[in-house]
Amino acid sequence: MVKSVTKIAVRAEQIRKKRHLVNLESFISLKRENLCMKSCKLTLLMILLVGPFCYSQDLKMLDFAPLMKKNRVHKRICSTVKYQNNVPTDTIPFGLEEFDANGRLVYYEEYYSRGKLKAKYRYGYDANGVITRSTVEHFSNDFQLINLINVFDASGRITERKPEISIQNFWTVEKYTYNSGGVLVTSEQFYESNGKPTGATKNNYLPHLKTPDDSIVYIYNSKELMILHRFYDEHGNVRSSKVYSYKHI
């Protein structure tokens, strides 16, 4: 009996997600009909500069704290939708973010490409909004709670951080740079093995927090919250989409 109820619940959730995706696809089709090709080309170019809008382990979401606070966002769920011949075939979670009453990121779950939990991040703040504590629990270390050591600039922004003990398949140091307005524009992760550098990754972000226009690539709701970020291949076919859902206080 319990198994039957569980199966019914799982099936109901699958149907709900499918209906949501169909509704979103219909909305995007309407947007496509009302947009000019010039706008599409501009936004496609911006994809190369912005990158995905669920910011992995780094601190980019802190730039959006005022927007999250304004809309009383408590949680944001990030999913990847895969396509074949422009038809959605699979939906996989890749991130889950939780925010405090001031819109600041306090908890983040990161997933591997097939939806398996990869890491958990937690953040604490003082009365001025400066991060006082950040931790990571990573799959490679059996989700052991590990403190991240932070280095700050004169404005209280983190410019560098690293785990207090090494974590397999994880960066040894992460560095941040900001523009004159205090907006995070790059984050870099550096990796080592046996004390020797093995590689690095870099994320580049635009100096502003919203794309210039709504389009078939970036879709926002009426509260200026992004609900979809779509990627195309060189032939104009949909390769994948990042879909975002929100829970409010």
Q: What percent of the chain has pLDDT over 90?
A: 51
pLDDT digits (tens, 9 = 90+) for 108-160: 999 988 889 999 999 999 999 999 999 999 999 999 999 999 999 999 999 99
pLDDT of residue 30: 47
Q: How, if at all, do strands 238-248 and 87-99 pair?
A: unpaired
CA distance 192 to 173: 9
- More confident call, 86 vs 16: 86
pTM of the model: 0.75
CA distance 185 to 224: 21
pLDDT of residue 47: 32
- Highest-confidence segment of 6-20, 136-150, 214-228: 136-150
Cβ partners under 8 Å of residue 249, min gap 6 = 72, 73, 74, 101
Q: State the average pLDDT over residues 46-64.
A: 60
Task: State the SS3 of 30-57.
Answer: HHHHCCCHHHHHHHHHHHHHHCCCCCCC
pLDDT of residue 25: 54
